[in-house]
Structure formats: structure tokens, C-alpha cells
């Protein structure tokens, strides 16, 4: 099993551009999450999903959108990129609340 995969690994965007961060898991997990990690700030939840077609906002959803059309995929969309969105983005999945979350390797995004 590949676990949680994320693409791309690195990306540089200009202010105002848009992009989609891809996340795929092959563990048949219902729960999926997007976090951003900023130095010294830990991880902040952007959006999460408890199954195909069901998503909800986390702590810092502004400037992002998600969709969940399949169990496996949970893409994160950035519209009108801003420098404040420069961060490392992690996708994670879990079987349920009490089980561990499995993390992807991350996408390092720079907006200039």
C-alpha cells in the first residue's frame, strides 16, 4: 500500500494564481483532512471530510475549497493565491476519530 500520497511536492505560485493540491489514500479510510503547517505554529486544520460528498470547515478555511467525490481523493483548491498561504500542506486520513491519522509527505507551497 502507498498510504497517503500528495502531489506536487513543491510549488511556487504568483499572487493571484490558482492551483489544486492533490491527495489520494488507498486505505479505504472515510475520514480525510487537510492541514497547513507554519513554523512554530503546529498544524492547523483547513478542511476535513467524513466521507464522499461530506466536507466541513476546520480552523483556517478562508481562501481554500475542497471536494470529496470519491473515498480515495480529497483535493484542496487554492483560489487567488496570497503570500499568507505560503506554508507546508499535509493531507491525512484515518479510519475513525479514535484511530491514528496517517499523513502524506506534504506539499511545500511558496506564494510570491
Residue ranges binding other proteins (CB under 8 A): 4, 33, 35, 40-45, 48, 50, 56, 58, 90, 92, 97-98, 100-101, 103-106
Q: How far is CA 54 from the centre of its chain?
A: 15
User: Closest approach of Cβ 49 to other proteins, in Å?
Assistant: 10
Nearer to other proteins, 14 or 100 (CB): 100
Nearest-approach distance from CB 85 to other proteins, in angstroms = 19
Q: Is the Cβ–Cβ distance between 102 and 3 less than 8 Å? A: yes
Beta bridge partners of 66: 76
Nearest CA-CA partner of 26 in 73, 66, 87, 82: 73
Please calculate the CA angle 36-10-28 and round it to the nearest 5 degrees: 60
Q: How far is the CB of 16 from other proteins (least distance, A)?
A: 28
Q: Which is nearer to other proteins, 20 or 102 (CB)?
A: 102
CB-CB contact of 34 with 19 (8 Å): no
Complex with other proteins: residue 30 or 65, whichever CB lies closer: 30
Tell me how far, at minimum, the Cβ of 92 lies from other proteins, in Å: 8
Amino acid at each position: 500500500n502507498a498510504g497517503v500520497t500528495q502531489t506536487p511536492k513543491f510549488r511556487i505560485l504568483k499572487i493571484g494564481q490558482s492551483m489544486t493540491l492533490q491527495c489520494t489514500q488507498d486505505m479505504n479510510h472515510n475520514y480525510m483532512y487537510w492541514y497547513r503547517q507554519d513554523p512554530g505554529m503546529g498544524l492547523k486544520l483547513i478542511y476535513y471530510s467524513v466521507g464522499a460528498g461530506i466536507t466541513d470547515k476546520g480552523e483556517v478555511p478562508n481562501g481554500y475549497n475542497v471536494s470529496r467525490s470519491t473515498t480515495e481523493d480529497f483535493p484542496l483548491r487554492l483560489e487567488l493565491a496570497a503570500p499568507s498561504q505560503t506554508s507546508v500542506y499535509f493531507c491525512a486520513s484515518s479510519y475513525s476519530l479514535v484511530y491514528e491519522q496517517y499523513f502524506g509527505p506534504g506539499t511545500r507551497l511558496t506564494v510570491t
